Structures are given as structure tokens and as C-alpha cells.
Copies of this chain bind each other. A is one copy, B any other.
């Protein structure tokens, strides 16, 4: 058995069966083994940020580790942005990164970085990163990566695999493949928190990571029903179960000014797998906390803990296990007509989203409105594409989610600026015949930057400033870009056209793209951040 074979044995033993890949020369021995390993599916992506973003979407929906195959330092680097998003989403992932042979690296062939090693890059976005020293070591590291990936809320694990570790002989890897156990929250903390949530203070419980869907959310719903506290959610949830029949959660708004207003009355926040709510960016002369200075923040459990066990214990301590919960009701929505706006799209989606679909959101400024208007749609899973703030996650994430759940319709809200970041991801959904509808929210603008520039500019933005934010020179033709990659599509210019297009797209199977030419007015957002109103 050589190192490549031992590595794949370790991964397959750990039930990793879907490999998102863009291999290069140094991965050929691994490609050869994937090709010969039954039950391992290979998904080719045309750039590594699609590889890592798709792996993220896959793992969030499959609830097991995704694995990626990446090529040397530059290939790994191309995938960092979406690894960063995945890391902030606590996604379970195992990355195998080919590298030059250990004995060749010191000769500084082309792919060696001028001032560092792949491991230096890998560490920044991995919870755990190692470089194999030998063929047997490679397989052991592969097995360890699988065990760490599933530990706690989920971890990004990266193994650097020099080529001589592929072809040298290796001993068989260990076969104990269950994830390492995450620490439990102490009984004393459970008891203390149970007292805190009934102390009469205005209380929010901030849910993060995988507590926003499934058992975690149901437990939190019982706690809220029993105690009267409010359930809050991270601004960019990795996976939120929402819509009809789901436990309602208020996400903390993105805009600092809006969050401060929403959270002004809270006296205490209990964090469960979430962090203290802070602004994504600091601004001159403004606070960075999204809560009042006086609000007390208590960390009940972190993503390093066994979060589900923590909520189970707290629910039990509160004697709330059979507490009835008031669930979200279906919101009726009539088909919109006239001008095509985020509002009209929100209404169309609210009436048309199918039961059990997956809504991927990289809708940026238009996404905020659509999110609000689809709260009462049929039950669906909602995935934020910007858990780490990096743009370019949406198209890959939707691809991966669809590969994990081939029988569920995926709808991707995609702003045009972010969409161009990983536009290559369209090809892979044609390759995989992924059942994904992409809705390009086309405003020909990085609109969020116009809002953010309004914070710092005196007077109006001049032409050169505008030219650094506008995407209208030339305008992008998304239907052509999609068709060029094998994905059919159509363009909508009115609310009626959009509604009809969405309806017919939902009736078919396979990839489709709708270019929605949106009329957007960002004045309210500008007023909000400039404090003009």
C-alpha cells in the first residue's frame, strides 16, 4: 500500500465520500486513487474558491465533513476566502493539499512561495493544519483530520501532502474514525444559566453555529417558551431553519445603527455558540458593540463545547422539555406586479418557495429586504453565504448544498458584484446537473460600498469614486455568461416577468439562472448610516 492508498482508506473509513477538487500535477497520484476508489464521488470545479465554497455548502447540508483536493500554495490560496467563510460557519471540512516532494522543496522550484510555506497559509484558515513527513504519516494525519473535523461545532482541518508521501510505501492507517468528543458545559454553569434566564431581566439568547436548525433550535424554542426570553441569531447564520412551522428567531441586523436600535432594551444576553454582537467594521466616532454598554453578556457555551448537550441540559434543568412552542405562521403573499424591486422579489419568493427548499443568500443590500419578506414562506433552510464576510460564497455554496441534497430545490439569491467573484461555479452546476435556480439581483453596483462611502465622504461622490463602485461600464449580461457555461437562463425586467420566470423555473429540474434587473433605492440606507433621519 502506498501513501495515497493509505490516505484514501482513512478518508473512506471516516465516511468521506464526496471530493470537491481542482487537482494539479502534484495531485495526480491522488486523482489516480480517487479514480480507483469506489463510492468516492469527484466534483471538478474550475477554481479553488468554488471548491472550498461548494464543500462548505455540502457539509452544512449533509451534516458530515466535506473533503477537498487542492493544488499547492497558490491553489490553496485561491480557496482561502471561502475556507474563511466556512471556518466562521463552523463547517466540518478536510482539505488535502498536494505539495512538492519534501526533498525537492528546498530547491525552490516555481511553486514554492517566496517567503513562506503552504502550512503558513493553511494555519490562518484552519483550526488544525499539519504537513505530512512520510507516507505513513500522511494516512495518520488524514485519519486525525477526519476526527477533528467533526469535533464540537465543526472544524476546518488541512493536511499538506508532499508527493513523495503519495508514492512511498505506507502502513495501514488507524480505523477508529469517530470524531473526538467535545467538552460538556459544566453542571454548575447549567444551573447558573437556568437561574439567569428567569431573573426577570430583559434577556436575549444568541444562538450560533448549528443551533439555528434541527434539535438545537427546537430546544431553544422550548426554553424561550418557558422563560419568555427572546431568541436571537447571529447576523450571518450558517444554517437557519425558518418559515412556516419553524421556531421564530430574530437575527441581529447587519447595520450597526439598526442593531443598536433593535437591541437597545436588552439587559442581558446569553451566548450559545455565538460571539458578542459587534459591528462588522469599526467606524470613526461610533461604538463597536451592537448592544448597550449596560447590557451584561454571559457566555453559556462556545463552539468548542458540545452545544446540543448544553441546550438539552439547560432545557431539562428548566423543566421545559415538553413546553409547547408558538411556531411561525404562513404569511400570505399576492403575486406582485409593476417595477422589479427587492420587495417584489421577496413577495414572489414568499408565495413560491417550495416546502423543504434551500435558500442561499448572497443578496447583499437587496438580500436584506428579501429576507424580511420571506420569513413566513413555506418551511425552508436558509444559508448565509457571508459567515466570514468574504464575498464570492453564494454560487459555490448553492452548488454544494444541491450536491448534498439532490432532491431539494436550491434557490440562490446572488448580488451581481459578489457573483462575479466565483462566476466559474456556474459550470460545475451544469456538470453536476444541480437543481439550483440562481437569481441574480442585478443593480450594476457594489451598492453596499455606496452606503459605506456615505459614512466618510463630504459632499457627493465624484465620478472617479463612482467608477470604483459601479458595474455599469459595461453592464454584465448574466444570461450570456451562464449560457456560455452550459446553464440556461432568462432576464426579467418587471415584477410580473420575474414572477412568471420563477414559477416556470421552479417547475423544471436542473440548473437555471434568472437575471433580475432591479430598480434599487439606497437612500434610506444612506440616511441611516449618515444619521440624517
Min CB gap A311→B, angstroms: 23
Given A23-B449, A35-B464, A431:B474 Cβ within 8 A: yes
Min CB gap A149→B, angstroms: 14
Do A25 and B449 touch across chains, with their CB atoms under 8 A apart? yes
Residue of B nearest to A485 (CB): B476
Cβ of A24 < 8 Å from any Cβ of B? yes
A23 to B85, CA, bound (A): 19
Contact with B along A103-141 (1 / 0, CB 8 A): 110011111011111001101111100000000000000
Given A115-B125, A276-B107, A484-B480, A421:B468 Cβ within 8 A: no
Residues of B within 8 A of A29 (CB): 456
A471 to B44, CA, bound (A): 9
Residues of B within 8 A of A417 (CB): 46
A42 to B463, CA, bound (A): 11
Min CB gap A460→B, angstroms: 11
**How many identical chains are in the complex?**
2
Residues of B within 8 A of A473 (CB): 431
Residues of B within 8 A of A455 (CB): 28
Do A35 and B485 touch across chains, with their CB atoms under 8 A apart? no
Do B461 and A47 touch across chains, with their CB atoms under 8 A apart? no
Min CB gap A370→B, angstroms: 20
Of B101, B421, B480, the residue contacting A46 (CB under 8 A) is: B421
Contact with B along A455-490 (1 / 0, CB 8 A): 111000110110111010111111111111110000
Do A84 and B74 touch across chains, with their CB atoms under 8 A apart? yes
Residues of B within 8 A of A49 (CB): 78
Do A467 and B42 touch across chains, with their CB atoms under 8 A apart? yes
Cβ of A21 < 8 Å from any Cβ of B? yes
Contact with B along A234-268 (1 / 0, CB 8 A): 01100000000000000000000000000000000
Do A73 and B124 touch across chains, with their CB atoms under 8 A apart? yes
A388 to B112, CA, bound (A): 8
Of B389, B474, B482, the residue contacting A111 (CB under 8 A) is: B389
Cβ of A14 < 8 Å from any Cβ of B? no
Do B115 and A126 touch across chains, with their CB atoms under 8 A apart? yes
Min CB gap A116→B, angstroms: 3
Do B104 and A288 touch across chains, with their CB atoms under 8 A apart? yes
Among A181-189, A321-329, A373-381, A422-430, the one that faces the other chain is A422-430
Min CB gap A42→B, angstroms: 5
**Interface residues of A, Cβ cutoff 8 Å to B:** 21, 23-26, 28-29, 31-32, 34-36, 42, 44, 46-47, 49, 72-75, 77-78, 80-81, 84-85, 87-88, 100-101, 103-104, 107-111, 113-117, 120-121, 123-127, 156, 163-164, 167, 235-236, 275-276, 278-282, 284, 288, 386-392, 417, 420-421, 423-424, 427, 430-431, 448-449, 452-453, 455-457, 461-462, 464-465, 467-469, 471, 473-486
